[in-house]
Structure formats: C-alpha cells, structure tokens
Amino acid sequence: MSKIDWDKIKVIVLDRDGVINHDSDEYIKSPEEWIPIAGSLPAIAKLNQRFKVAIATNQSGIARGFYDEPILHAMHDKMDALLKEYDGHIDHIEYCPHHPDDGCSCRKPETRMLEHIAAKFSANPQEIVFVGDSSSDYQCAQNFGCPFVLLLTGKGLKTLNKLAGKDLLVEKSLAMLVESID
C-alpha cells in the first residue's frame, strides 16, 4: 500500500476490541473483562499529541442481552481512567448497539459511525485513518474512502488471511504502528 501521508491526517479512528483491549469470542461483558493490550494505552497517549483519537466499535453484546449501555459506559470509564495514567484520552466514541440482523446503518461495515466522527472533527475521509483488526473494519474504511491499517492483535491474523491479496498496510500492534508514524 502506498504510504500514508501522516501530515495530512487529522483523526485516528480505532476499533476497540482487539485493538485497544483484548477481545473474546464470548464478548467483553464487564469492566473487569476489559483488559488493555500491552502498549495500547501509552500508544493512544502518544497519538493524542498529534491527532484527534476516536473509537468506532460494534457492540452487539447489548442487543444480545450480554450487557447493557450503562455497563458499556462503565467499561469506557475504566478505559478513560487507565488512559489518564499516561496523560491520554479518547476524544470521541461511536458505538453500534445493534444486532447484526437488525439492518442498521451504523454497524460496521456500514459507515455511519465514521460519518459522525468525520463531521465532529470537520474531517474528510482522506484526513482520517481507521485502525482495526477485522474484515468489517477494513470494509468500513473501504466504504468510507479512508486509509486503513490492519493490526495483527485481536482477530488481525485471521483477518490477514481473509484479506490475502488485498493491498494492506499491516502492523503488529497499536504500539508498533505509533512507533512507525513519521
């Protein structure tokens, strides 16, 4: 993939599960289960020095009845508290609470979450980089028209195999991506 011109980027959009925190096929259902991936929080703090940082995350566990929105907010409160230890923060969070069968326009690979983030920060798609670990993250970025970085954390290795042959920018982890940004 052609290199991203980081000087033109305003906003970094991160998927949550598998990018910032460890993911689980059983869903992350409580603040106790929300455990950051090593290096992700200091990486976000470093990103904060140069970019707006947002999250776009599918949270179908709400529609499935595994947890509710107050629990989701408690998970995000934990993330915020842990980020503060590194002088980091998240500028904005978008989430889709719907079930995959609901047919909503916000669930990735649909683009509504990225549209909201772009509008919030007055950014066009070329000024946003979406960082994720899943095919739906990749497809969402493609649908929106913004650059995408696949991380090999979370579902990243499986996704890399699924997207074999695609022109991808791939990094081992969020921490490694941040170190590579010039």
| Neighbouring residues of 40: CB distance < 8 A, sequence distance ≥ 6 | 19, 20, 21, 173, 174, 175
Question: 15 an active-site residue?
Answer: yes
State the catalytic residue, choosing from 17, 23, 133, 137: 17
DSSP 3-state percent helix, strand, coil across the chain (nearest 5): 40, 15, 45
Encoded tokens for 166: 């695609």
125 CA to centre of own chain = 15
23 is catalytic: no
From CA 167, how far away is CA 154, in angstroms rounded? 20
Instruction: Choose, from 5, 15, 91, 102, the residue flagged as catalytic.
Output: 15
Q: Which two tokens stand for residue 153?
A: 């954390």
**E strand segments, the chain:** 11-14, 52-58, 92-96, 128-132, 148-151, 169-171
Of the CA atoms within 13 Å of residue 148, those in its CB half-sphere come to: 24
DSSP-derived pairing of the beta strands 92-96 and 128-132: unpaired
The residues annotated with a catalytic role in the active site are: 15, 17
